[in-house]
Amino acid sequence: MKLLAFESSAGPASVCLAEDGKILLSMSRNDGLTHSRTLLDMAGTVLREAGLTPADVDAFAVAAGPGSFTGLRIGIGTVKGLAWGAEKKCIGVSTLLAMAHCHREWRGIICPAMDARRAQVYTAAFESDGHGNITRLSPDSAISAAEAAASADRSKPILVCGDGAKILHAALLAQGHPQVFLAPENTVFQSATGVALAAEGIEPVSPEELAPEYLRKSQAEREREARLAAQNEK
């Protein structure tokens, strides 16, 4: 199955073309431009390099969350538009699972971490056998780095990756975890290659069914609820 995969959950943006678990082409940018300006351009470049059109792709995969609310909306909106136009299906992938698949050669525990602000990280724990097999150990969650560190397995080496990696890495060291490692600088961030690899084996859905997984309410929603609560107290 040919997949065109997208990652726009944080600062970097990337697009990847894969077939049956093999990465064919990929492109990434981290130059500060908004994802709405870069994703479609990158997708067009990758498809042209491969001599393909959207109609030649079997499905479109995307990091569906957690992550930046705006970034997720842009990525999912892009995939929905391409899928509708090409009459194809979509695959939504956990951003954290995709991050773990970027490091599937690691043998041990993988703890992706994204800076969720408000003194929290988006994180989950996975175990990798070093041969491409990733097993989920905990659900995606938005918790403090200290909480995540407290629940981490101390018996196996831990690899930390993601834009919140340094936050979680520091918390793990502070709690005395004996084998903690930061992902290399050139592979620490989220990537569409992980989305493509994680999408293998996930049942595609229609564009209408594809939805983001935010894990928590947006700042705008929280502020609105606070205003309503204050009004009700008057």
Do 199 and 4 form a contact (C-beta atoms < 8 A)? no
pLDDT at res. 32: 84
Q: Given this model, what pLDDT does residue 129 score?
A: 98
CA 110 to chain centre: 14
For residue 33, the model assigns a pLDDT of 83
> What pLDDT was estimated at residue 118?
85
Mean pLDDT by 10 residues, the chain (234 residues): 97 96 95 90 97 97 96 97 97 98 97 93 98 97 97 96 96 96 94 97 96 74 48 62
Contact 149, 168 (CB under 8 A): yes
Q: Which amino acid is at 169?
A: H
Check: CB of residue 123 under 8 Å from CB of residue 114.
yes
**Reported pTM:** 0.91
Residue 162 amino acid letter: G
Give the other-Cβ count within 10 Å of 4's Cβ.
Answer: 30
